[in-house]
Amino acid sequence: MARIMLDKSKRGWWESAVFYQIYPKSFQDTDGDGIGDLQGIISRLDYLEYLGIDGIWLSPVCASPQVDNGYDISDFRAIDPMFGSMEDMETLISEAGKRGISIILDLTLNHSSDRHFWFQEALKSRDNPYHDYYVWRDGDGVTPPNGMRATFGGSCWTWVPHLGQYYFHQFAVEQPDMNWDNPNLRRELYDMMRFWIGKGIGGFRLDVIDQIAKEPDLEITGNGPRLHEFLQELSREVLKEEGIVTVGEAWGANVERAKLYSAPDGSELSMVFQFQHIGLDQEPGKDKWDMIPLHLPALKQCLRHWQQGLNGTGWNSLFMNNHDLPRVVSRWGNDGQYRVESAKMLATMLHGMQGTPYIFQGEELGMTNIRLELDQYKDVEIHNMYAERTAMGYDHDTVMNSIWARGRDNARTPMQWTSGWHAGFTTGTPWLPVNPNCVEINAEAALDDPYSVFYYYKRLIELRKTVPVIRFGSFELVDPDSEQVFAYTRDSADQHLLVVCNFTGEEIAWDIPAEYQEAEILLTNYEPTPGILKPYEAMMLLINE
Ligand code: NOJ
């Protein structure tokens, strides 16, 4: 089937689009330093075009000391030499554009690196013009202004003796939060965003955007009182060009807020990347390291809430993976015997819904989690958490189990291109070990196998473009209380879609609703058997009126 190219000149083109996230450090190395680079991405554009995606969410490539793998930016207008040059970036934008693929730049507007010129100036004195670009409180160096804890462990406050002040950081010490109350800071950020639009990028992924309007004195991080005012200003100032897509990462979003973020009039952003469904297998009120099994009815209710809640009034991002999350096939599927079946099943569940799907690199191959020794991990979050939890009395094995299940490096191991040396990722030493299962799980093998996870994703992408009910139909659960099957319908005036997913590794009895008995089978991961769902079986059935 010929590739369908979207007209990206108008707002809303992303409603038919599928995006692909690249974590540049781990995608493809071309210079042998063991770290992926922009030339590597350029060399793989044909692969991505063949898969059929419309945009690349490019995790940060700006200049950075890499304390948090690029989410600590020291120059928003420069490319980190580790990834290449500005010329490489321009080539990537234009080569991707030729293939109908937009580049969506990942920006951290909440914080910068402590090496950023603004912060270096801010450190010089309290009356430096850049001082107020960051968040400071006076203190005594003994007791921080309050007990707020940073996401990567420790206090949110770091003491600077020569200023007699603490600065505020929600993430690592090296990621000072910027002060959005300062209009000069906002103007500089908008200017920088216009610089990138001028380079031809298709949009922005805005890191922890719900945290920019923090109010530390009130212990507010997400959803601060001025948040939507700031986003509306950003939209007016920067996003005037019709086709620019923006996806806001918002851990604290609920449906009502998401309607503001992604209002169809474009007054804020295009869509929101929220995590309610992702947090369902952790103990309520605790953090992600405190795991509980996924209760399927809870997942269904959560996704129904978002599907119904934003239909016609906002826009969802659809995802189960990114660079911060473990591989979904290891998390909610089965990465052993039923790896292929369960990877396809999970994809079916997600890609039948309304929203813009995001595929994280390697998801289309069914890549899995990895188990490393503690000192092989690179993630600042893993190491800070290990130190914190062992100090609290957790034993080594318990903490390692959490890391193996939830650590962010699970998603960050190098992309598996071939079964050969370092999976075809690098000729050097990879910065993070390659998963040894690359011998079996790799792009070359997937492209040779018509039943691979890759071709299944390719077909799902085609279906989004050719079956309108997937984009615009209403959503209803079938059998909401079932703990085994996730089934739902999508309905429009002239099309009806049924999506059925067996979330278990068991063969179970399940009857297709009568009205779908004669429906067209759009996609399945098995040859269907009446009355039965095989382990991790999935299907999409269509009725045209
Ligand atoms: C969210 C990003 O996805 C994550 O990787 C990063 O560590 C934090 N924001 C801080 O920028």
Distance CA 509, CA 535 (A): 11
- Closest Cα to residue 202, out of 73, 69, 53? 53
Long-range contacts of 150-156 (CB under 8 A, 24+ apart): 151/381, 152/68, 152/380, 152/381, 152/384, 152/385, 153/381, 153/384, 153/385, 153/387, 153/388, 154/384, 154/388, 156/216
Full 3-state SS string of 97-115: HHCCCEEEEEECCCECCCC
Percentage, residues of the chain above pLDDT 70: 100
Per DSSP, the residues of 148-171 read -B-TTSSBSEEEETTTTEEEE-SS
Distance CA 138, CA 408 (A): 35
3-state secondary structure of 172: coil
3-state secondary structure of 528: coil
What spacing in Å lies between the alpha carbon of 501 and ligand 1's midpoint? 31
Distance CA 222, CA 526 (A): 44
pLDDT at residue 98 in the model: 97
What spacing in Å lies between the alpha carbon of 496 and ligand 1's midpoint? 39
Question: Helices (H) and strands (E) in the chain — how many of each?
Answer: 16, 20
Counting atoms of ligand 1 from 1, which one is nearest the CA of 110?
A: 11
Q: How far is CA 61 from CA 21, 36, 116, 301, in A?
A: 13, 11, 15, 37
Nearest-CA residue for atom 10 of ligand 1: 71
| Structure token pair of residue 25 | 């450090």
Ligand 1 within 6 A of 57 CB?
no
Distance CA 520, CA 416 (A): 35
90 is annotated as an active-site residue: no
- Structural fold of domain 470-544: Immunoglobulin-like (2.60.40)
Q: How far is CA 197 from CA 24, 77, 140, 204, in A?
A: 20, 12, 44, 9
8 A C-beta contact, residue 403 and residue 387? no
Spatial CB neighbours of 471, under 8 Å, sequence gap ≥ 6? 15, 16, 354, 464
pLDDT band at 252 (very low <50, low <70, confident <90, very high): confident
Query: Which uninterrupted H or E stretch holds 142?
Result: none
Nearest-CA residue for atom 8 of ligand 1: 71
> Which one of 208, 409, 410, 412 would you pick to mutate in the ligand 1 pocket, going by the greatest count of ligand atoms within 8 A of its CB?
208
249 is annotated as an active-site residue: yes
What spacing in Å lies between the alpha carbon of 404 and ligand 1's midpoint? 19
What spacing in Å lies between the alpha carbon of 73 and ligand 1's midpoint? 11
pLDDT at residue 10 in the model: 86
What spacing in Å lies between the alpha carbon of 70 and ligand 1's midpoint? 9
DSSP lists the bridge partners of residue 180 as none
Amino acid at 353: M
Is the sign of the CA dihedral 92, 273, 176, 387 positive or negative? negative
Distance CA 264, CA 303 (A): 20
Query: Is the pLDDT confidence value at 198 over 90?
Result: yes
Ligand 1 within 6 A of 324 CB?
yes
Kindly report, residue by residue over 420-444, the tens digit of the pLDDT. 999 999 999 999 999 999 999 999 9
Ligand 1 within 6 A of 37 CB?
no
Kindly report, residue by residue over 141-176, the tens digit of the pLDDT. 999 999 999 999 899 999 999 999 999 999 999 999
**DSSP assignment letter at 2:** P
Domain 13-112+182-372+436-460, classified CATH 3.20.20.80, yes or no: yes
| Structure token pair of residue 132 | 């107020």
Distance CA 109, CA 185 (A): 10
Counting atoms of ligand 1 from 1, which one is nearest the CA of 108?
A: 11
pLDDT band at 217 (very low <50, low <70, confident <90, very high): very high
Catalytic residue among 72, 114, 249, 341: 249
Distance CA 322, CA 332 (A): 15
Ligand 1 within 6 A of 106 CB?
no
What spacing in Å lies between the alpha carbon of 349 and ligand 1's midpoint? 26
Ligand 1 within 6 A of 431 CB?
no
- Closest Cα to residue 116, out of 221, 203, 188? 188
pLDDT at residue 181 in the model: 98
Catalytic residue among 72, 88, 114, 207: 207
pLDDT at residue 347 in the model: 98
- Closest Cα to residue 291, out of 332, 250, 343? 332
What spacing in Å lies between the alpha carbon of 18 and ligand 1's midpoint? 22
- Polymer length of the chain: 545
pTM for the model: 0.97
- Closest Cα to residue 202, out of 60, 106, 61, 71? 106
Query: Is the pLDDT confidence value at 43 over 90?
Result: yes
pLDDT at residue 462 in the model: 97
pLDDT at residue 391 in the model: 96
pLDDT at residue 110 in the model: 98
Task: Please name the residue ranges forming H helices in 183-295.
Answer: 183-198, 227-238, 255-261
Ligand 1 within 6 A of 208 CB?
yes
Counting atoms of ligand 1 from 1, which one is nearest the CA of 324?
A: 5
DSSP lists the bridge partners of residue 56 as 20, 103
> Which one of 207, 214, 247, 379 would you pick to mutate in the ligand 1 pocket, going by the greatest count of ligand atoms within 8 A of its CB?
207
Nearest-CA residue for atom 2 of ligand 1: 207
| Structure token pair of residue 128 | 């430096």
Ligand 1 within 6 A of 207 CB?
yes
What spacing in Å lies between the alpha carbon of 221 and ligand 1's midpoint? 14
pLDDT band at 469 (very low <50, low <70, confident <90, very high): very high
For the chain, the structural domain boundaries read: 13-112+182-372+436-460, 470-544
> Which one of 23, 324, 406 would you pick to mutate in the ligand 1 pocket, going by the greatest count of ligand atoms within 8 A of its CB?
324
pLDDT band at 512 (very low <50, low <70, confident <90, very high): very high
What spacing in Å lies between the alpha carbon of 453 and ligand 1's midpoint? 28
pLDDT at residue 508 in the model: 98
Ligand 1 within 6 A of 251 CB?
no
pLDDT at residue 240 in the model: 75
Ligand 1 within 6 A of 281 CB?
no
| Structure token pair of residue 141 | 């160096």
Ligand 1 within 6 A of 174 CB?
no
Q: How far is CA 429 from CA 35, 263, 279, in A?
A: 8, 46, 35
Distance CA 361, CA 416 (A): 9
Query: Is the pLDDT confidence value at 241 over 80?
Result: no
Query: Which uninterrupted H or E stretch holds 204?
Result: strand 203-206
Q: Directed axis angle between helix 339-351 and helix 453-466, to 10°?
A: 10
Query: Which uninterrupted H or E stretch holds 270?
Result: none
